[in-house]
């Protein structure tokens, strides 16, 4: 699975970071960094939760 | 627990996320999703922000893309209102708003997600140009009123919705007066000092903010003409937006056998009665993390509680987990993102963890009885979320102050 973040929509509120800190990180510059763009199947449930919980609907998953 | 079918009443954020969660838990029974609006489930926060500003159109409000909605295999009944429920017989009375027909279902699992509606000011209902903001149709109507280029917009209530509408209207160059009966905007939630920061934000953007004064009457002949305040003053107005809070939609549950008291009263696991749960703006439950009965009117809570209440219908009582979130919300006003997590009480200790009130970029943390209980941020999303995680961990206020964020 591949994670795609629409950075025009993302407002760095770090909801995703709270759910999956090993995949998403909002840094000091207040930008979101995707630490792992292609996590394994074992992470799907958490990534799905990030997709749902992102208030800006900025995260999508391909594959 | 084997359940044949689940009926969800309220086809908005909590309801649709609950349905998605059921399917994610591999529930393969029938799901009926009932909503009294005609639109497919849509998102509300943009209604006072990008959509109201005309920057977004309706396609950007969709909560679940059509193909994903199909995959959920729902019996989606839009334009249908739940009119009654009886716990003993589990009969749910429905009224079709389009063809006026009525029907009765016998439900197995029931999830209540009927949200809330706006409180109104008595006496102003019949006047054109007076609006509240909850639905897509409300937002469209206000948008049209703004497009007509009114000479003055009056916002009644400087809570989050009122403040966002004021910001959107100012950004469009409209003349805005905002009236707040509290000494400062949001001072009941944030205290006078932080309320003052919000007040300055609006005043600097050209809002004529009047605090500590109430509305006596909204007057006009067919169309609104003026707002009369209780200090004797009068403000001419072409458009009035009233944002004075919401009321949970529970009237249809009167006499149902469920307990209603500031929403649908649930236990710590979101269960209102055997096989009946509630979620979102309509649900009231004891949050054990804070030892407090809460009804939370925030987007993130509707999503999380929708999922929790859905799971609750699939497990036995002894497997049920309490719902213990750290509430979180955001509000966008001008170029500021205001975010709050946890609970902030007026008597809490407060510490500015980073930034300053003067530059309006800061994170303030709040302590009570030695614990970190809340955080308020202006343009500090990362800090807010980090402190939210610390609240979840139950750290002391002292440790929170010392923490490197
Ligand atoms: C303009 C606006 C801006 C907002 N901005 C933010 C923000 O920036 N940040 C934030 O955290 N939160 C924000 N919120 C709050 C957030 O949108 C709500 O918390 C969320 O919508 C709650 O979802 P819900 O599903 O519980 O209730 P609702 O969204 O109210 O949905 C309930 C649904 O049930 C339907 N219904 C009611 N009664 C019946 C019945 N008897 N039968 C059938 N259907 C029924 C209603 O018509 C509605 O469609 C905003 C809200 C508004 C209105
Ligand atoms: S939750 Fe969404 S908006 Fe927030 S940081 Fe993650 S991607 Fe961005």
**pLDDT tens per residue, range A34-53:** 999 999 999 998 999 999 89
Q: What does the alpha-carbon distance between residue B354 and residue B405 come to, in Å, rounded to a whole number?
A: 9
The single residue listed with the structure tokens 């944030």 is B190
Q: Quick check: is B339 in a domain?
A: yes
Number of domains in chain A: 1
State the smallest CA–CA distance between residue A26 and chain B in angstroms: 6
The whole-chain average pLDDT of chain A stands at 92
Domain stop point among B290, B319, B348: B319
Whether B128 and B91 share a structural domain: no
Domain that holds residue A24: 2-62
Q: Do B125 and B90 lie in a common domain?
A: no
Ligand 2 contacts CB of residue A56 (under 6 A): yes
Contacts 24+ apart (CB under 8 A), A21-27: A23/A47, A23/A50, A24/A50, A26/B381, A26/B382, A26/B385, A27/B382
Partners of B333 in beta bridges: B336
Pocket of ligand 1, beta carbon within 6 A: B 9-15, 34-37, 44-45, 47-48, 81-82, 113-116, 133-134, 161, 249, 252, 280-282, 297-300, 302, 329-331
Residue B329 covered by a domain: no
Answer whether residue B330 is part of any domain. Answer: no
Q: What sign results for the dihedral spanned by CA atoms A36, A41, A46, A52? A: positive
Give the Å distances, CA to CA, from B182 to A38, B131, B244, B248, B303. 50, 21, 12, 23, 31
Q: B244, B267, B300: which is the final residue of a domain?
A: B244
Q: Per-block average pLDDT, block size 10, for chain B (405 residues)?
A: 92 97 95 97 96 94 91 97 98 96 97 97 87 98 97 96 98 97 92 94 97 95 96 96 97 98 98 98 97 96 97 96 97 94 94 95 96 96 93 97 92
Q: Whose CA is nearest to atom 2 of ligand 2?
A: A54
pLDDT, one tens digit per residue, over B108-130 is: 999 999 999 999 998 787 899 99
**How far, in Å, CA of B121 to CA of B100, rounded?**
29
One domain for residues B149 and B228: yes
Q: What are phi and psi of B305, to 5 degrees?
A: -75, -35
Same domain flag for B218 and B176: yes
**Which of the ligands is closest to the CA of residue B16?**
1
- For a mutational test of ligand 1's pocket, the pick from B44, B168, B246, i.e. the residue with the most ligand atoms closer than 8 A to its C-beta, is B44
State if pTM tops 0.80: yes
**Domain hosting residue B373, numbered range:** 335-402
Does residue B324 form part of some domain?
A: no
Q: Quick check: B376 and B367 in contact, CB under 8 A?
A: no
Question: In this predicted structure, what is the pLDDT of residue B62?
Answer: 92
Confidence of residue A29 (pLDDT cuts 50, 70, 90): confident
- Asked if pLDDT for residue A63 goes beyond 90, the answer is no
Does B232 lie in the same domain as B265? Answer: no
Same domain, B358 and B391: yes
Q: Give the residue from B275, B290, B319 where a domain finishes.
A: B319
Residue-level pLDDT at B65: 86
- Contact (Cβ atoms closer than 8 angstroms) between residue B183 and residue B146: no
Number of domain units in chain B = 3
Crossing angle of helices B160-171 and B187-204, in 10° steps, is 10
CB contact under 8 A, A27 and B382: yes
Beta-carbon separation of B384 and A48 below 8 A: no
> Which atom number of ligand 1 is nearest to the Cα of residue B37?
47
- Single out the residue of B388, B373, B400 nearest to residue B291, CA to CA: B373
CATH code assigned at B20: 3.50.50.60
Inspect the interface and report whether the beta carbons of A11 and B45 lie closer than 8 Å. no
What local confidence, expressed as pLDDT, does residue A28 receive? 80
Is A58 touching ligand 2 by the criterion CB < 6 Å? yes
Percent of chain A scored above 70 by pLDDT?
100
Secondary structure letter of residue B70 according to DSSP: H
CA distance B97 to A38: 47
CATH code (residue A57): 3.30.70.20
Contact residues, chain A to chain B, C-beta under 8 Å: 11-15, 17-18, 26-28, 30, 45, 48, 52-53, 55, 57
């Amino acid at each position: 699975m591949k994670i795609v973040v629409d950075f025009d929509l993302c407002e760095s509120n770090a909801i995703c970071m709270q759910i999956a800190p090993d995949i998403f990180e909002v840094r000091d510059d207040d930008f979101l960094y995707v630490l792992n763009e292609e996590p394994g199947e074992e992470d799907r449930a958490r990534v799905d939760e990030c997709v749902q919980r992102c208030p800006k609907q900025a995260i999508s998953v391909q594959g | 627990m084997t359940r044949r079918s689940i009926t969800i009443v309220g086809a908005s954020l909590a309801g649709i996320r609950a349905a998605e969660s059921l399917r994610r838990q591999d529930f393969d029974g029938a799901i009926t999703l009932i909503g009294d609006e005609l639109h497919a489930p849509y998102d509300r926060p943009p209604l006072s922000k990008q959509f109201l500003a005309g920057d977004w159109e309706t396609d950007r409000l969709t909560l679940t893309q059509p193909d994903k909605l199909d995959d959920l295999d729902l019996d989606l009944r839009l334009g249908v209102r739940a009119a009654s429920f009886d716990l003993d017989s589990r009969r749910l009375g429905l009224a079709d708003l389009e063809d006026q027909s009525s029907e009765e279902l016998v439900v197995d699992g029931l999830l209540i997600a009927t949200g809330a509606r706006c409180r109104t000011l008595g006496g102003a209902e019949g006047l054109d140009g007076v609006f509240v903001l909850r639905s897509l149709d409300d937002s469209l109507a206000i948008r049209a009123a703004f497009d007509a280029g009114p000479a003055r917009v009056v916002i009644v209530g400087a809570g989050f919705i009122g403040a966002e509408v004021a910001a959107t209207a100012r950004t469009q160059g409209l003349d805005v007066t905002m009236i707040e009966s509290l000494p400062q905007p949001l001072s009941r939630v944030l205290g006078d000092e932080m309320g003052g920061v919000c007040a300055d934000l609006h005043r600097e953007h050209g809002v004529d903010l009047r605090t500590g004064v109430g509305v006596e009457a909204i007057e006009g002949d067919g169309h609104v003409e003026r707002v009369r305040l209780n200090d004797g003053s009068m403000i001419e107005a072409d458009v009035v937006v009233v944002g004075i809070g919401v009321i949970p939609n529970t009237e249809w549950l009167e006499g149902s056998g469920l307990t209603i008291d500031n929403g649908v009263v649930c236990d710590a696991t979101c269960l209102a009665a055997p096989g009946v749960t509630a979620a979102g703006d309509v649900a009231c439950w004891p949050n054990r993390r804070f030892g407090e009965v809460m009804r939370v009117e925030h987007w993130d809570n509707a999503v999380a509680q929708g999922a929790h209440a859905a799971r609750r219908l699939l497990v036995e009582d002894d497997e049920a987990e309490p719902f213990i979130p750290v509430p979180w919300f955001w509000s966008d006003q001008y170029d500021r993102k205001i975010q709050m997590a946890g609970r902030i009480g007026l008597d809490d200790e407060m510490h500015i963890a980073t930034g300053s009130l003067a530059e309006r970029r800061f994170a303030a943390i709040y302590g009570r009885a030695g614990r970190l209980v809340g955080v308020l941020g202006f343009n500090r999303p990362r800090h807010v979320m980090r402190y939210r995680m610390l609240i979840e961990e139950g750290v002391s206020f002292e440790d929170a102050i010392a923490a490197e964020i």
